[in-house]
Amino acid sequence: MNNRFRFDCIGYGLFLGLILLVVPWALDFDGFELNTFARYLTLGMVAMALALSWGGAGILNLGQAATFGLGAYIMAMHLKLKASAHMPDGMPDFMGWTNVESLPWFWEPFHSLPVTILAGFLVPVLLAAVIGIFMFRGRITGVFVAIITLAFLVAIQLVFIEEQRYTGGFNGITGLAPLELFGWSVDNYSLSFYYFVSGCLIAALVLALGLVRSKVGLVLRAIKEDPARVRFFGYDVARYETLAFCASAAIAGWAGMLYVLVLQFASPTYMGVPFSLAIVIWCAVGGRESLVAAALGGIIVNMLEGRLSDLFVDGWTLFLGALFILVVLVMPRGLYGLFQNLLERVTEFYRQARAERRETLASAQSIVSEPTDKGGR
Amino acid sequence: MAQLELRGLAVQFGGVRAVDGLDLTLQDGELRCLIGPNGAGKSTTLDLICGKTAPTGGEILFDGRNITGLPEFRRARAGIGRKFQTPSVFRELTVIENLEIARSARPGVFSSLTVFRSRYPGRMQEVVELVELAEELHTRAGNLSHGQMQWLEIAMLLMQDARLILMDEPTAGMTIQETRKTGEIFASLRGSHTMIVVEHDMNFVRQIAGTVTVMDQGALLAEGSIQEVERDPAVRAAYLGDGGNGHA
Amino acid sequence: MPAGPAARDSRPPGPYVGWISMDAFFNQAFAGLSMASILLMVALGLAIIYGAMGVINLAHGEFVMLGAYSAWLLQTYFGFSILVSLPVVFLMVALIGLAVERGVVRWLYHRPLDTILATWGIGIVLQQLVRMGVGTDSRYVARPTILDGNVVLGGVVMSNYRIFVVVFSIAVLAATWYLLTRTEYGTRLRAVIQNKEISECYGIRSERVYAMTFAYGAGLAGIAGALVTPLVSVTPTMGTYLVVDAFLVVILGGVGSLMGTAVAAGLVGEATALFSFLLNDTLGRVAVLCAIILLIRFMPQGLFPDRVRR
């Protein structure tokens, strides 16, 4: 147990060192490269959000992209309004093209940054709460959760594409103004922006760890194994599941907001089935049981994609598919499981070596006194 | 006042009446053994009381309150605990984590958010020492022996501190010594906890004594002390001339 | 997907109920039936695979896509009409299905959730292989000339080809039912579903039964793909969203019930057509998705629950 905890702490430390020190240094503090890496960090953040519900509570949410996309659109709406200040009525350009008369009421609140940020968390959480209560009160589990979340995702994306007048349709929302935070105009190609994104990731990680390491996390792990048994101890399983689902949505929405800051546009592909299942892939590759591992999975896979897809465009997708099949077949616990097994084997080896040495010592002494039970245990 | 009262409890699966108009009353602090041939509806009765199965007829009163329609976690909060036939502990969790789950006096989400560490000294330590699992606190429950798992589940029920404990064959797979020890624990709980024990091992039933209820084909067949029940001709008939000795 | 209702503005002739043109209504109903028949063939394969093995096959949409491309290939390079290609397509896609089952799926029978992930990976690979081999351009397949023309009933125009597809899908349903209930293979399969270990004790090679079942389900998807080619354009991603719909149909119908799958396919097809008529294509689909989700939530056993299990 203590060993396990120490192992985890070393992991956290390495992760912090990696994204705060090693990466900026290795990228030579280059603004463009840092922006690319900040993108990987936000994707790692969604993978972590999924690990919270999937690894933490056994809720396989195939619609994680929906909450991510909501966060992204909310931030994009704010930045679009800022960019459209000089337009007649302050209306976004695409609304003009589709003959929208005046700014729709649900766009109005996003003039305000605090409201936007609040909404970026609360809207995904609200959606998750509704879907969560709906599913978990009905004791929907396993495969059914996967299918229902997937169906919700498809429905939400369809609405966003259909309502072109309000959402930009297929094109999404483009031509955004930079964010202004406490008078700091965010340059998404700067070192300070990189640290802002990594700071957010770390903050989200700390909050999520707080949840996972509290008794809530323990109850959720128990629920993952046997929800019925947990009920007989008086826990309202649906509530715990909904909490995990909502917390995961909050982090995904947060990541979505950051993603728009990094890329400067929002697109309905953020809510697509392929993107949503890609999140599952990252999470599985890193290891669903650990938040940091899942985040690393997101970062590593996307980094590979960034490097490899330059070299061979077509081959990359093929590789990703094959990688995923391989991970599921050969290492279902992901890189995390691989490392843990390795570590356990190493410690076991040392323990045995030490025990053997002690035995030879003991037998050496026993030769002096008298030869007794050699077999031992 | 009666703590638990079953009135005309019935449940049907398809066309089969697993429990058929069962009446049962338990006093506070009583230890009741529930016996009967296979398929008599003993486990199903426990399922109905703890809320695993919904009855198709009759009602369940706990402390005079009708709990027939309550979901299982509300019944657990009201003070009903359950031990299953096959040890159902959380195999992926360690022993101490299992016990922390069982310590569920404050089962709400928000109070759970404030707990980060298991408080070991105190009740948990007592329970762990009682069931001799102190050495295994950080072992994954899945790595325990079968007997230890049974103990762990009993320990979890002690942690839960339910006022009514439903036990389904608690001694299955235990050695004679382990069985005797279980009997001692049950005896110590008598008075402070009400217990219903479904058991096949008649020696164990004799050891823990108490009142015995015999079920057959989903209904009450006989009730009384172990000696009275063993003499009852209807009970003998139900056990196919087994004479009430040994195994059912 | 059927065309939206342009009916309201142009006011076609014929009887009306309120503002609804009866002709437009029945045309839409027929479009729904046609969609249901395609959905049925896709869902049938999924239902068999899920019902028999508990495998959620997210690569099923790619099997449909492969069937469509096979039909295109056979027509473009060999001049086969779709009708002639059908058995060939069935065999081709069934073989691919067999390879997928032997290569990947069979290792995951005890991990149902992981099959979702692995089959998604397979889907990515298949899609990419097609993209690399054939390209991303939309492909079109000509309708068989014997099935050109329409049947006109009053104001309702039904293309012969769509009628053929409806009839064919019902025939496939009947054949599948026969296969599962009246043949030696069907008996073996049902035995394996009931209890794999005991079946093996009686000399049934469950591995083989599973492999055959998976291949058969894949073959059905291939046929569905071939049959839609004259109706929609063929692209590498055509199957991705189809699989979601088909899956909802399977679960809605109730696991292990062919009848349920058929009824659910009919319901979903008709409901989509109806809602598209009342709202528009996209919102119609959204409404149907929500309705299905609600139904699944309140009837998790599906419309036709499996009575054997309980």
**Angle, vertex CA A104, rays to CA A100 and CA A110, nearest 5:** 130
Q: Give yes or no for B82 touching A (CB within 8 A).
A: yes
For residue B222, which of B206, B237, B202 has the smallest C-alpha distance? B237
Of B51, B72, B100, the CB nearest to A215: B100
> Quick check: helix, strand or coil at residue C152?
strand
Supply the pLDDT for residue A374: 41
Q: Å from B57 to nearest chain A CA? A: 22
- Percent of chain C residues past pLDDT 90, beyond the cut: 38
Which residue among C104, C116, C293 places its CB closest to the CB of A152?
Answer: C293
Contact A324 C113 (CB under 8 A): no
pLDDT at C22 over 50: yes
> pTM to 2 decimals?
0.88
- Name residues 127-166 of chain C within 8 A of A (Cβ): 127-129, 131-132
| Residues A221, B116: C-beta atoms closer than 8 Å | no
Give the minimum alpha-carbon distance from A226 to chain B in angstroms, rounded to a whole number: 7
- pLDDT, greater one: A314 or C83: C83
Q: Please tell me the predicted confidence (pLDDT) of residue B173.
A: 79
Q: Radius of gyration of chain A from Cα atoms?
A: 24
Chain A: give the shortest CA distance to residue B113, in Å: 6
| Chain A residues with CB-CB distance to C107 below 8 A | 329
**Neighboring chain A residues of C56 at a CB cutoff of 8 Å:** 143, 146-147
Q: Residue A49: which of A267, A259, A303 has the closest Cα? A: A259
Instruction: Judge: C117–A280 Cβ closer than 8 Å, yes or no.
Output: yes
CB contact under 8 A, C297 and A140: yes
A230 CB burial (10 A radius; 0-12, 13-18, 19+) = buried
Alpha-carbon distance B244 to nearest alpha carbon in chain A (angstroms): 33
Q: What pLDDT does A205 receive?
A: 95
Indicate if the pLDDT at residue C304 is higher than 50. Answer: yes
For residue B104, the distance in angstroms to the closest alpha carbon of chain A comes to 6
Report pLDDT for C13.
Answer: 67
| Residue B200 contacts A where some CB pair is shorter than 8 Å | no
Find residue C158's DSSP bridge partners: C151
Report d(CA A25, CA A17) in Å as an integer.
11
What is the pLDDT, as a whole number, of residue A376?
A: 38
**The pLDDT value given to residue C10:** 56
- Report the Cα A112 to chain-centroid distance in Å: 27
- Region C189-210 average pLDDT: 85
Q: What is the pLDDT of residue A95?
A: 86
Q: What pLDDT does C26 receive?
A: 84
Q: Residue B100, exposed/middle/buried by CB under 10 A (0-12, 13-18, 19+)?
A: buried
Q: What is the pLDDT of residue A3?
A: 67
- CA of B162 vs chain A CAs: smallest distance (Å): 9
A175 by Cβ neighbours in 10 Å (0-12 / 13-18 / 19+) ranks as middle
Q: Which tens digit of pLDDT belongs to each residue from C50-70?
A: 888 888 899 999 999 999 999
Partner A contacted by C280 (CB < 8 A): yes
* Spans of all domains in chain B: 30-57+70-79+162-248, 91-160
Domain boundaries along the sequence of chain A:
29-273
pLDDT of residue B49: 92
pLDDT tens digits along B84-125:
888 789 999 999 999 999 998 888 888 888 888 777 788 889
Mean pLDDT of B54-68: 90
Q: Do residues C249 and C261 lie in contact, with contact meaning Cβ atoms separated by under 8 Å?
A: yes
Q: Residue C244's closest chain A neighbor by CA?
A: A151
Q: Which residues of A touch C (CB under 8 A)?
A: 60, 62, 134-135, 138, 140, 142-144, 146-148, 150-152, 154-155, 158-159, 161-162, 273-274, 277, 280-281, 284, 314, 317-318, 320-325, 328-329, 332
pLDDT in the model for residue A45: 96
Residue B73 CB burial class (10 angstroms; 0-12, 13-18, ≥19): buried
Summarize pLDDT for C245-279 with one digit per residue, the tens.
898 898 888 877 888 899 999 999 999 888 888 88
Is the Cβ of B90 closer than 8 Å to some Cβ of chain A? yes
The DSSP secondary structure of C73-112, one letter per residue, reads HHHHHH---HHHHHHHHHHHHHHHHHHHHHHTGGGGTT-H
Q: What is the pLDDT of residue A240?
A: 96
Mean pLDDT of C153-171: 88
Nearest residue on chain A to C288, judged by CA atoms?
A: A155
pLDDT of B56 strictly over 60: yes
B171 touches chain A (CB under 8 A): no
Residue stretches of chain A with pLDDT short of 70: 1-3, 364-377
* CATH 3.40.50.300, applies to B30-57+70-79+162-248: yes
Chains that touch A (3 or more CB pairs under 8 A): B, C
Question: Could you report the predicted ipTM of this complex, rounded to two decimals?
Answer: 0.89
Residues B127-154: tens digit of each pLDDT: 898 888 888 888 899 999 888 888 899 8
- pLDDT at site C103: 92
pLDDT at residue C5 in the model: 47
Rounded to a whole number of angstroms, the distance from the CA of B146 to the nearest CA of chain A is: 18
Q: Chains contacting C with at least 3 CB pairs below 8 Å?
A: A
Residue C20 has what pLDDT?
Answer: 72
Q: How confident is the model at residue B166 (pLDDT cuts 50, 70, 90)?
A: very high
The pLDDT score that the predictor gives to residue A235 is 94
Say how many Å lie between the first and final Cα of chain C, rounded: 38
What confidence tens digit (pLDDT) does each residue in B167-181 have? 988 888 788 888 888
DSSP annotation string for A113-139: HHHHHHHHHHHHHHHHHHHHHHHHHTT
